[in-house]
Amino acid sequence: MAISKRTVRELIGAAMAVRRNAYAPYSKFPVGAALLADDGSVLTGCNVENSSYGLSCCAERNAVAAAISCGKRGLVAVAIAADTAQPVAPCGACRQVLSEFNPRMTVIMVAKEGLTKTARLDRLLPYAFGPRQLRADNKKK
């Protein structure tokens, strides 16, 4: 699915806006994510940290949870905004979670001054484990 420039701008704006809601008292690294579903809807998430660091959740995974809770499964693109000089890619855990829904998803990484970098998710996570491997393994049994 081709994504229009207007839609890209909307995703970037949504990611930058939700970043302001992040709860990041420990890392001081607020991140916002905006997911585009195949029906055109945009769902957002921000990082939520916890004093027990392992319980923290990244913006991208919170956006996926918002999408799934709204019944969205067809995820087309994600914009990730961080307050950094250079665009920041999603962490490995987020790459894996996003890949569950669309390994060819467009990933738009956005820095604080609007500098962007775009990549396809399967380029960021070339050997992702996913549902296809599980189905293949179950057929062998």
Instruction: Please report the domains of the chain, with CATH numbers, ordered by start residue.
Output: 5-140 (3.40.140.10)
86-130 confidence digits (pLDDT tens): 999 999 999 999 999 999 999 999 999 989 999 999 999 998 887
Query: 0.75 exceeded by the pTM?
Result: yes
37-74 confidence digits (pLDDT tens): 999 999 999 999 999 999 999 999 999 999 999 999 99
Q: State residue 130's pLDDT score.
A: 76
- Whether 96 contacts 125, CB under 8 Å: yes
Q: Which residue has the higher pLDDT, 104 or 140?
A: 104
**Distance (Å, rounded) from C-alpha 58 to C-alpha 48?**
7
Q: State residue 129's pLDDT score.
A: 85
Instruction: Please confirm, yes or no, whether 60 is among the known catalytic residues.
Output: yes
5-29 confidence digits (pLDDT tens): 999 999 999 999 999 999 999 999 9
> Of the residues 10, 49, 60, 113, which is catalytic?
60
Counting beta carbons within 10 angstroms of the beta carbon of residue 107, is it exposed (0 to 12), middle (13 to 18) or buried (19 or more)? buried
Question: What is the number of residues in the chain?
Answer: 141
